[in-house]
Structure 1
């Protein structure tokens, strides 16, 4: 549609407005270009554009926008051109990058995928790409397994396929496989697109690396047109949150039956707080005595500081008809929540494309990242010890451990733990890492139907870490206090001789791909055939030298030691993987597509006769809304795709030189003992990769021109040839034998829904979205003679049970499930069974929700997540009950109480169990709560429902209108935003401990721990400018 007013100009400016055909709303971000030139611009938040420098010879303007039909309109002699764009109901024709860097249309994909757009990724300003994905992708479980200045994140899709090996999704950066550790070092602002291949079917082209699905990350390449410069500054504050619940009513003491205050005792089974002054600790050598009010205070929480995160970003992009360039940089700086901790990261990226000749093009990506950590190595220990600190102790009074005589290593009140401020400063770890990541791709198109591509990628990392423990000596007076008070600990009796550990790691991965692609339209059939090969080489070098016993405090040098021996080690390894692969696509009239892949891998870590493995996959998609005339142009059902696929992929679960026993340097050599020691495990020489066969079915639909979008997938996998270690007789000289056996299956449903219930002509738009996944992992079989397999952290693989399954101790129970107590003491009895099955520790159900409300240039958005259907064990908070800090210990006000839901054996000898209503435990204080027999040794006391609802992100963004920016010629746009992450969490009453996400890693998940940096929430603001 065209409206015009006649104006004549030799070199003119054209203005106009772009609106949507279906609802008349203005469209922001539409590209407007003089057809056939680089003269172009974009519409603003109101759908308006101003295009300067339009040549008098220009005849047409082209309007284009994702999800809408492109349109070309005549200019003539007009200065005003208005366009109305219709929705592109054939969004399935959009081209995306998938496995191997191959471009396909969405409609031809017969497997489940999820696209994460850059604005979704960076909305919360998470510094870690993995953390930014939480709650946004159906089937993707983001585990933030530790806090700190650069949290560790793992990505798991569709549950587990390996009992003992890697279950993390494959990470592909600019079409090259990279280590998962790079997720914390990629600048999210550099990312242009993320394609999540939810299952092995979509990732099958990666062969032995494909079993866990793939996350394909594509970075920005620059755009044609005038140079654009962007700069932004983000500042956020970070606060420790979600502490374990503690009791606030009782102070130091450890006596049974009586509540007596003990000034040096860390256990908190003393009398109730009364606010009166009491002595804390012991008399110092000069006779000084410390007193404090005997009242609870919350200073233990104030030990943690407000973390400050600063992120500075810039980017420059430009392009012409021959190519484009993108250059970007980021400086990220963090002052952590633990006193003295800090982290910074510098990232520099340069990406480009260039047409070298008529049919030859070159593209490249380069990224240099440097990060620096300076952190305490004792954060987890301090967290545990702080939470156990008696409530009357004012922790923050001991910050100055140099000048405050009650805060020094000699004067600190506690016999069991050192001053946490001193510990944070005395136990340090400084790390420097350097990464170089790059790709170069050369493409030759000799004919319209044939192209050749060669791609080389490099990932290089070098790091060094120095870990130190400072030397100090206690005074003779301090050591003499070993007999002071009752039950004194050992921290006041031993000098610290000092330690230093220097380690260096280097790793380099080289990947080369070369392939040819044939593409031809033969009447109603479109045919694409790709054939190629890949070579990947990994080389690693790890070195370490350490010593315990330093000459001087503060001098950390392995040469300045008090002992003759150094401890050192080095590990060198190199592995190679070669592959030949092929991809065949055939489509019929655009609505029926068949996609077949095959890949053969040769893996160097396996025996020569077992190195070759073939991995096939096939999928089909059918689009009935394109196939049947009666479904075309349907006002309700805009598009529908039905898909199905099968696949076979692998997982090599063995490291370099893992087939034969290796030798390691013996401790003390060459001064004492043997020179080398041999490992105690044998490995089957016929070991093969674990194999996963999978099938999936699904459908994707758009209704009302995209106002409603839905997707659903059912999947089932069977993972056989599990790599496990079984025990063998010690008479062989070994204790274990690694072999292929066992099966782990998974099945589940993934679904997503997006609805736009409000989209008005006044600028209002509301978008609501949700994704749901149900996943069930089950162990089918284990090696003959093995009833269960330990996978760590109390988790087991048990045939017929969900994986992973937690086992632990429980009380003895009567036939009705009641706890059996002693009829005289009231104390409970432990079960005769060593352990019982407690439940599943991986979330079976997950829901992600997203909300976005727009009003013109103002946007409010939020991301939430639910997880449920699993249990968690709080593994280290047994120490809370031992010390008396735990909230459980005050449930009955330290009085004698009846064990809930208990019974006792009928003294009359009937053999029946009678309900216990009046037999109380002999002591409701330290004798019960700190007892391993009655309480802390019973796993079921520390099991809780792992379910939660969490507000992952909330963001408010405002694109400033031109009227506020002014008429100055440099700043073209400005955006202000507020963000928050990990803001709220709703937990069941049984969870007295912490965020269930916290401290779970590896395959033995579902075990939370406070031996890490505690979880935090973030609040931040960003200013972005475009020039």
Structure 2
């Protein structure tokens, strides 16, 4: 018993001695304005012991007698080190980083970096720039805002997605769409349509090898990263309510107004002998109309409205952002609409001084209706062929309920009612992470992401449809897709003497994708109330498909910075993909980049007009794997013969199929003049090799084409971005901006020894030493003596040469007259400019985008400028300029000869300048809001989209991103009024 008491006394004495030696240090961390900073890290220097500030900026930490210093840090702020003295309470102030640009940029994987220290070519756009726009497509709002990023929206369908290209078309066979990353996980480019732009915090465009090579096999076309909003620890809840209402109309009616009136059309028929004067007058007497048919096939002032509600904030060690949104837009064409419902919940917590974790949950449901009457269809796309003397209304102005007399087509309203199709999409994007810091400066992070979608299409032809009475049909299509991503990284950051800053990161990533679908259909439904597939007794059919792929990757990055002046980064990635042949499934990509902050050198420090001068350069490789999933495999398929299943080889396969590779060199320069003007320019040279191309083979081989790694392509270009604080005071500002980029592509190698290749039915050729170009018969003129059309004879030795010898022409048109037109398929000049200005609470924001050197084959003109081929239909007024007698210099040949062929006349300059956005608004001033004791902020604004377009293109819309356009549903213009409130 005595020994036990002695031992207990010894333990108590030793414990008391330790407690006497250990003390608790408390305090508060604030910023330069005295505001508390929650979530700041406090660490005992040289140990892993640490804590974080609470929601009011206060902290408490136990320190031992050996502890000498406390280190206070927070991303975006300058770290501070204080000595632990005899005091027990400390007040610490953290200042913003001394870098001119303090925002944090996520480049590849790992933790964020200040933009001023990023070596790679990265343009970050605030989410504010894509919000409050009357369109569901977030990327449409980015058009013209980022040098090197080409965005076109090719249709006025509300559910239309935009085409995206970074630094030109990188492949002739595989996709050229950039890789899209949402909160660290890859997503399908079409998923962006289902996301709510109001949830976006930033959109970053990664362009050069230094920024993209870490993504390896999928980064050849660049990367676009979307980061969604988060709350802030220690911030009281902020409730944001946004609502907007607007209307849509045709962007321009010039094209539609260029068709002949009833009198002009009948006069033309009389002049060309198609009708006598008497029969024409009788026709006009019986049909005394002059219908503008576009007003019947396109609606006016169709509504767009949206509402968004979000709550963000944080308490203790946890932050949150929760939102819900609704968007609705009717299309101008009948049976065209889009409805979207979205929800998001982002929650992040600092569990303790070594553990962080968070989840981003996003869910959406949308309903889409698409007008199907485009290409070669007189129910919309070619409806302007309708003679204007017919009318969809009777003599009393009452609309015909179904068939339009004379025109012989059904009312677009009737078609929309009797032939229905609705597409529904359920979209889930989930990601979660756990990050631990087992020792000082080491962060180990595991993240899992899931993209899941279910898409359903329901199509019905009602039994009451008069074309096929009591014989309806129904179809259902259902697909499910899931992409799972697991990413593990370890990042170690440290500095030596505050001069050498080093970050090393290694990682592993696994991605798999599974897609399946099935469809069913039936016919013979007899009642509009019984239109399910099961109600159709005949024509029953069912189909199904399934496909999948997987990637396994290992990667690493090393970054070094010296004295905040010299920066170098290296990246390496190894990818293995199931899409490629068993002999070539693995490939390695790498990059090296360097940056020099020259303005921090002693010889430039005293140059008062030069506030920043940065030089950067990078070189590296990346890959492209955007092809089908089983092209490397020799596959068999099934067929039915005499009621039995048969087997046959369906694809040849290619066991040597491998990655399309790309090598890119970038050199850039950025500087700030007079502390007002920011200028950034970059030059790049991008070479694509081992292109994934569907190579044609003789049909006698049993396969028309086989995908192989062949050919090469080069893109070279220059980018320029200029922004200026032209005028800025406490109450007013004027900040113009401009960006521009030039890109030239050149085919440098093809396949099978070919010097050129004309892709069938496209009017486009690939020729070594030339850009991808249009190839068509080149129209010369209408012979003023004979009234016959003439075309240039191509060079028989090489049709990729453009031959326009006036002595070598023919009046006999054949497709064999095709030759290179010398016109590029891709526009070389793209960009945008704008202005932000404000005075007190009033603000104005304007954005224009432009494309120069853009050309389109206007296939509509073949129908609308061909009165011989389409006799009895309406035509464009331009056909009145036709040859009538010897000596006439006319646009079209004499009547009786086909006016328009598929030749170079259909290739039009579709360059355009478009006002993408103009917003005028008022931010209500704080003193006024404080009186309410409820509102934190309020904004009232009016906005417009596509209100002005300047172009020489004669078709309905120059923005179509294709080699050929026919029956396009044109882009729309919107005006809207919105109200944003914060509580």
Q: TM-score per shorter chain, which class?
A: 0.7 to 0.9
Contact 1:722 1:743 in 2 (8 A): yes
Note the C-alpha offset of 1:596. 0.3
Q: Aligned in 2, Cα 1:955/1:68: closer, same or farther, shift over 3 Å?
A: farther
Secondary structure in 2 matching 1:424: helix
* Residue 724 (structure 1) aligns with: 693
The equivalent of 2:236 in structure 1 is: 226
Q: Which whole-Å CA distance do the structure 1 matches of 2:789 and 2:160 have between them? A: 46
- CA distance, structure 2, for counterparts of residue 966 and residue 104 of structure 1: 37
Residue among 660, 666, 677 paired with 2:633: 660
Q: Is the 8 A contact 1:124 1:954 kept in 2?
A: no
- Counterpart contact for 2:134–2:974, Cα < 8 Å: no
The SS at the match of 1:500 is strand
CA contact (8 A) 1:618 1:647 kept: yes
**Structure 1, residues 398-455: CA drift from partner, whole Å, max 9, x if none?**
999xx96x4433x63323x333222222222111111110111111112222111111
Q: 1:1006 aligns with which of 940, 952, 963?
A: 963
Residue deviations 1:955-990, cap 9 Å, x none? Answer: 0121112454462222222110111001100112xx
Cα separation, partners in 2 of 1:886 and 1:800, compared to 1, 3 Å: farther
**Cα distance in 2 between the residues matched to 1:663 and 1:255:** 62
Please, what TM-score do these two structures have when normalized by structure 1? 0.80
Contact map agreement 1:753 1:770 (CA 8 A) in 2: yes
1:837 aligns with one of 791, 815, 820: 820
Pick closer, same or farther for the CA change 1:270–1:746 going to 2, 3 Å: farther
Give me the CA root mean square deviation.
3.7
> Shift in Å at residue 786 of structure 1?
3.2
Aligned-partner Cα distance in 1 for 2:395–2:541 = 36
Residue equivalent to 1:823: 786
Task: Tell me the equivalent position of 2:21.
Answer: none
CA deviations on 1:932-970 (whole Å, 9 max, x unpaired) are xx41x2322222112111111000121112454462222
Distance in structure 2 (CA, Å) of the matches to 1:54 and 1:365 = 25
> How many residues are treated as equivalent by the alignment?
886
Secondary structure class of the residue paired with 2:433: strand
Please, what TM-score do these two structures have when normalized by structure 2? 0.83
Where does residue 995 of structure 1 map in the other structure? 957
Structure 2 equivalent of residue 906 of structure 1:
none
Matches within 5 A, 1:317-328: 317-328=312-323
CA, structure 1 residues 527+394, in 2 after alignment: closer, same or farther (shift >3 Å)?
same
**Structure 1 398/725 Cα, relative in aligned 2: closer, same or farther at 3 Å?**
farther
Q: Name 1:571's counterpart in structure 2.
A: 545
Query: Which residue in 2 is equivalent to 1:778?
Result: 746
Q: Where does residue 47 of structure 2 map in the other structure?
A: none
Q: Are the aligned partners of 2:213 and 2:591 in contact in 1 as well (CA < 8 Å)?
A: yes
Aligned partners of 2:784 and 2:890 also within 8 Å: no
Mapped pair 1:194 → 2:203 = yes
SS in 1 for 2:726: strand
Counterpart of 2:161 (choices 123, 143, 152) is: 152
Q: Map residues 521-920 of structure 1 onto 2, 5 A cutoff.
A: 521-523=495-497, 524-547=499-522, 549-553=524-528, 555-563=530-538, 565-626=539-600, 628-632=601-605, 634-664=607-637, 666=639, 669=640, 672=643, 675=646, 678-679=649-650, 681-705=651-675, 707-761=676-730, 763-791=731-759, 794-800=762-768, 802-811=770-779, 813=780, 818-819=781-782, 823=786, 829-831=811-813, 833-838=816-821, 839-882=823-866, 883=870, 889-891=876-878, 893=880, 896-897=883-884, 917-918=887-888
Between the aligned partners of 1:251 and 1:207, the Cα distance in structure 2 is 64
Which of residues 207, 219, 222 in structure 2 aligns to 1:210? 219
Q: Which residue of 1 aligns with 2:3?
A: none
Gaps of 5+ in 1: 1-29, 40-52, 58-63, 72-84, 263-268, 281-290, 475-491, 899-915
- Cα deviation, 1:484-507, whole Å, max 9, x if unaligned, reads xxxxxxxx8x87954332111110
Once the two structures are overlaid, the 10-residue window that deviates more, 752-761 or 357-366, is 752-761
Any conservation in 2 of the 1:237–1:1020 contact (CA below 8 Å)? yes
Q: How does 1:196-345 map to 2 (within 5 A)?
A: 196-224=205-233, 225-243=235-253, 244-245=255-256, 246-250=258-262, 258=270, 278=283, 291-295=286-290, 297=292, 300=295, 303-345=298-340
Task: Flag the 1:810–1:549 CA change in 2: closer, same or farther, 3 A.
Answer: farther
Using the TM superposition, give the Cα deviation of residue 884 of structure 1 relative to its aligned residue in structure 2, in angstroms: 7.2
Q: In structure 2, what is the equivalent of residue 433 of structure 1? A: 425
The equivalent position to 2:406 in structure 1, one of 406, 413, 418, is 413
Q: How does 1:356-505 map to 2 (within 5 A)?
A: 356-378=351-373, 381=377, 382-395=379-392, 406-409=400-403, 412-415=405-408, 417-471=409-463, 497-505=471-479
**Is contact 2:455-2:478 (8 Å) kept?**
yes
Which residue is equivalent to 2:972?
1016
Q: How much does 1:755 deviate?
A: 1.2
Candidates 967, 980, 993, aligned match of 2:931: 967
Tell me how far 1:156 sits from its aligned partner.
0.8
315-324 vs 554-563, which deviates more? 554-563
CA distance 1:897–1:757, shift in 2 (3 Å): farther
Write the distance in 2 (CA, Å) between the matches of 1:827 and 1:921.
12
CA contact (8 A) 1:89 1:638 kept: no
What is the match of residue 171 of structure 1?
180
Shift of 1:684: 2.2
What's the secondary structure of 2:415's corresponding residue? helix
Cα separation, 1, equivalents of 2:209 and 2:541:
44
- Secondary structure in 2 aligned to 1:293? coil
Which structure 2 segments of 5+ residues have no match? 1-30, 41-54, 60-72, 81-93, 792-810
The 2-side partners of 1:31 and 1:673 are apart by 81
Q: Is 1:355 the equivalent of 2:350?
A: yes
Q: Aligned in 2, Cα 1:595/1:978: closer, same or farther, shift over 3 Å?
A: same
Indicate how the Cα distance of structure 1 residues 919 and 635 shifts in structure 2: closer, same or farther if over 3 A, else same. Answer: closer
Q: Secondary structure at the match of 1:300?
A: helix
Cα deviation, residue 104, structure 1: 2.3
| Equivalent runs, 1:73-152 vs 2, <5 Å | 90-92=99-101, 94-152=103-161
Equivalents in 1 of 2:435, 2:551: separation in Å?
A: 24
- Contact 1:231 / 1:1026 at 8 angstroms: preserved in 2? yes
Alpha-carbon separation, structure 2, partners of 1:800 and 1:55: 65
SS, match of residue 608 in structure 1: coil
Deviation at 1:557, TM superposition (A): 2.7
Moved more, 387-396 or 888-897: 888-897
- The answer to whether the 8 A contact 1:260-1:271 is kept is no
Quote how far apart the aligned CAs of 1:727 are. 2.8
Mean Cα displacement is larger for which, 792-801 or 218-227? Answer: 792-801
Residues 163 and 797, structure 1, Cα contact 8 Å, conserved in 2: no
Distance change (3 Å), C-alpha of 1:844 and 1:31: farther
Distance 2:395 2:590 in 1: 64
Identify the range of structure 1 (827-836 vs 975-984) with the bigger mean alpha-carbon deviation: 827-836
The 2-side partners of 1:150 and 1:659 are apart by 34
Paired residue secondary structure (1:387): helix
Secondary structure of the corresponding residue to residue 381 of structure 2: helix
Tell me the secondary structure at the aligned position of residue 164 of structure 1. coil
Alpha-carbon offset, residue 676 of structure 1: 5.5
Closer, same or farther in 2 for the Cα pair 1:398/1:431, shift >3 Å?
farther
Q: Distance in 1 between matches of 2:396 and 2:105?
A: 55
Cα deviation for residue 791 of structure 1 reads 4.8
Q: Deviations over 1:779-807 (max 9, x none)?
A: 11110243434557624342235443222
Decide whether the 8 Å contact of 2:784 with 2:888 is kept in 1. Answer: no
Change (3 A) 1:453 1:504: same
- Taking a change above 3 Å as real, the CA distance of residues 889 and 357 of structure 1, as seen in their structure-2 partners, is closer
